[in-house]
Amino acid sequence: MFIKGDSTRMEGGYALNGWKEDKYANGKLLHKGYYIEGQLKVYKNYYPNGNLERNFKSIDGFRSKALLYYEDGNLKSEVLYLNDFAMEWTDYFSNGKIEYYEKYHKSQYHHLDKKSYYENGQIENELILDNKKKLLYTYHEYHTNGSIKLKGHLKYDMGIYDYVKYGTWSHFDDQGNNIKKKQY
């Protein structure tokens, strides 16, 4: 219900209430969830090898949290929802390092923070909120060696619900040499 699922689990013609387990054909646990009026409130799903695949739980009447795992048991994603919207999301590489992170403003329109990383842990790109009132951002993109690849400025435009480039955008080679500038 928190993430706007449209299905209601029924048993014997009635909406399911209470704990329910589902098993794989081999008898191992696939799913264990708690239902109220057929809607999942808390659940865990498992891989065929028995490892946890996801863990979902409500925090309160508005917030919920999902944890997803790789088949080997390492954390894959962590998502905090406000009603049905993913307000904060972190993805991890299978080696445990952060792959992606984003956090939205409570309005759910624009980011407060957004970053992507290479598998070696080096930052790939980042969106930095510079001015909260005017919704002005700085954007940086990096080469795998850590040197700057691209930098420029963005403004969140409430009229189109998207980010718009402005000012000078500079492109750099992997040695840090400025190879191109473009004005917006």
* Distances in whole angstroms, Cα of residue 55 to Cα of each of 18, 73, 75, 84: 17, 12, 11, 16
Which range (11-15, 77-81, 109-113, 154-158) has the least confidence? 11-15
| Residue 92 forms part of a structural domain | no
Rounded distance, CA 8 to CA 17, Å? 11
Same domain? For 106 and 182 the reply is yes
Classify residue 143 by its DSSP letter.
-
Tell me, what's the pLDDT at 61?
77
Same domain? For 77 and 23 the reply is yes
Rounded distance, CA 55 to CA 106, Å? 24
Q: Tokens 């957004």 — which residue?
A: 114
Same domain? For 6 and 58 the reply is yes
Contact between 26 and 48 (Cβ < 8 Å): yes
What are the tens digits of pLDDT across the range 21-74?
A: 999 999 999 999 999 888 888 999 999 999 999 999 988 878 999 999 999 999
Domain boundary among 31, 59, 85: 85
Same domain? For 54 and 111 the reply is no
Tell me, what's the pLDDT at 96?
95
| Residue 33 forms part of a structural domain | yes
Tell me, what's the pLDDT at 175?
94
Same domain? For 1 and 81 the reply is yes
pTM of the model: 0.86
Same domain? For 71 and 9 the reply is yes
What are the tens digits of pLDDT across the range 172-184?
A: 999 999 999 999 9
Which residue range forms the structural domain that includes residue 119?
97-184
Contact between 55 and 44 (Cβ < 8 Å): yes
| Residue 90 forms part of a structural domain | no
Rounded distance, CA 150 to CA 170, Å? 6
Strands 178-183 and 18-23, sheet pairing: unpaired
What are the tens digits of pLDDT across the range 129-159?
A: 999 999 999 999 999 999 999 999 999 999 9
Task: State the first-to-last Cα distance of the chain, in angstroms, to the nearest integer.
Answer: 43
Q: What is the mean pLDDT of residues 104-125?
A: 96
If one counts the domains in the chain, the total is 2
Residue 6 clears pLDDT 60, i.e. is over it: no
Classify residue 3 by its DSSP letter.
T
Sign of the CA dihedral with 28 first, then 33, 37, and 38 last? negative
